[in-house]
Structure 1
Amino acid sequence: MGKETVKKRRVIFHLDMNCFYASVEMAYNPDLKGKPLAIAGNPQERKGIIVTSSYEARAKGVKTTMPLWQARKICPELIVMRPNFDRYRAASRQIFQMLAEITPIVQPVSIDEGYMDITDADWSDNPIHLAETLQARILQELDLPCSIGIAPNKFLAKMASDMKKPLGISVLRKREVDKILWPLPVAKMHGVGEKTASKLEELSIYTIGDLANKDTYALKQLLGINGVRLRDRANGIDQRPVDPEAVHEFKSIGSSQTLPHDTVDEREINKLLETLAENVERRLRRKQAAGKNVQLMIRYHDRKTITRSRKLHDYVERKEEIVQVAKELLAKHWDQEPIRLLGVTLQNVEEKKRIGKQLDIFTYEEEAGKEKLYQVMDELTEKYGRNLFEQSQTPIEESILQPGTSFQKDFLDDFKINRRK
Structure 2
Amino acid sequence: MREMYPKNGRVILHVDMNCFYASVEIAHDASLQGKALAIAGNAKERKGIIVTCSYEARAKGIRATMPVWEAKRLCPELVIKHPNFELYREASFALFQILARFTEKIQPVSIDEGYLDITECYGLGSPLEIAQMIQQTLLTELQLPCSIGIAPNLFLAKTASDMKKPLGITVLRKRDVQELLWPLPVEKMHGIGKKTAEKLKDVHIHTIGDLATGKAYIIRSMIGNHGLDLQKRANGIDNRDVDPSQMGQYKTIGNSITLPKDVDEEKELLDMLERLSQSVSRRLQKRALVTYNIQITIKYYNRRTITRSKMLENAIWESPDIFQSTIRLWKKHWDGDPVRLLGITACELEWKTEATKQLDLFSFEEDARAEPLLTVMEQLNSKYGTKVIQHGSQLFRQQERTFQQNLENKFI
TM-score calculated relative to the size of structure 1: 0.60
Q: Distance in 1 between matches of 2:26 and 2:159?
A: 27
Equivalent residue number for residue 228 of structure 1 = 228
Matched residue type, 1:241? D
Unmatched tracts of structure 1, length 5 or more: 1-5, 251-285, 289-317, 320-351, 354-368, 384-394, 396-409
Cα offset for 1:124? 6.5
- Secondary structure in 1 matching 2:147: strand
- Whose Rg is larger? 2
Q: Distance in 2 between matches of 1:189 and 1:26?
A: 31
Equivalent residue number for residue 34 of structure 1 = 34
Q: Distance in 2 between matches of 1:153 and 1:373?
A: 52
- Secondary structure in 2 matching 1:101: coil
Equivalent residue number for residue 74 of structure 1 = 74
Q: Distance in 1 between matches of 2:89 and 2:353?
A: 15
Please list the CA deviations of residues 285-325 of structure 1 after superposition, one character each: whole Å capped at 9, or x if unmatched: x997xxxxxxxxxxxxxxxxxxxxxxxxxxxxx99xxxxxx
Matched residue type, 2:63? K
Equivalent residue number for residue 254 of structure 1 = none
Q: Is the 8 A contact 1:11 1:124 kept in 2?
A: no
Q: Does 1:152 align with 2:114?
A: no
Matched residue type, 1:87? L
Cα offset for 1:91? 1.0
Equivalent residue number for residue 284 of structure 2 = none
Q: Distance in 2 between matches of 1:124 and 1:170?
A: 19
Q: Is the 8 A contact 1:118 1:124 kept in 2?
A: no
- Secondary structure in 2 matching 1:16: strand
Cα offset for 1:380? 5.0
Unmatched tracts of structure 2, length 5 or more: 1-5, 251-290, 300-310, 313-327, 334-338, 356-412
Equivalent residue number for residue 121 of structure 2 = 121
Higher relative contact order (CA 8 A, sep 6+): 1
- Secondary structure in 2 matching 1:128: helix
Equivalent residue number for residue 162 of structure 1 = 162
Q: Distance in 2 between matches of 1:130 and 1:112?
A: 19
Q: Does 1:108 align with 2:108?
A: yes
Cα offset for 1:24? 0.8
Q: 1:179 to 1:287 in 2, by over 3 A?
A: farther
Q: 1:80 to 1:129 in 2, by over 3 A?
A: same
Equivalent residue number for residue 343 of structure 2 = 381
Equivalent residue number for residue 52 of structure 1 = 52
What is the number of residues matched between the two proteins? 283
Cα offset for 1:73? 1.6
Matched residue type, 2:26? M
Cα offset for 1:246? 3.6
Equivalent residue number for residue 297 of structure 1 = none
| RMSD of equivalent CA atoms | 3.8
Q: Distance in 1 between matches of 2:33 and 2:200?
A: 41
Q: 1:242 to 1:30 in 2, by over 3 A?
A: same
Q: Distance in 1 between matches of 2:24 and 2:52?
A: 11
Q: Is the 8 A contact 1:102 1:122 kept in 2?
A: no
Equivalent residue number for residue 64 of structure 2 = 64
Q: 1:380 to 1:244 in 2, by over 3 A?
A: farther
Matched residue type, 1:214? G
Q: Does 1:194 align with 2:156?
A: no
Q: Does 1:93 align with 2:55?
A: no
Q: Is the 8 A contact 1:123 1:130 kept in 2?
A: no
119-128 or 27-36, which moves further after superposition? 119-128
Cα offset for 1:23? 0.6
Q: Percent identity?
A: 55
Q: 1:68 to 1:119 in 2, by over 3 A?
A: same
Please list the CA deviations of residues 5-27 of structure 1 after superposition, one character each: whole Å capped at 9, or x if unmatched: x9532000000000001011111
Q: Distance in 1 between matches of 2:115 and 2:32?
A: 30
TM-score calculated relative to the size of structure 2: 0.61
Q: 1:81 to 1:178 in 2, by over 3 A?
A: same
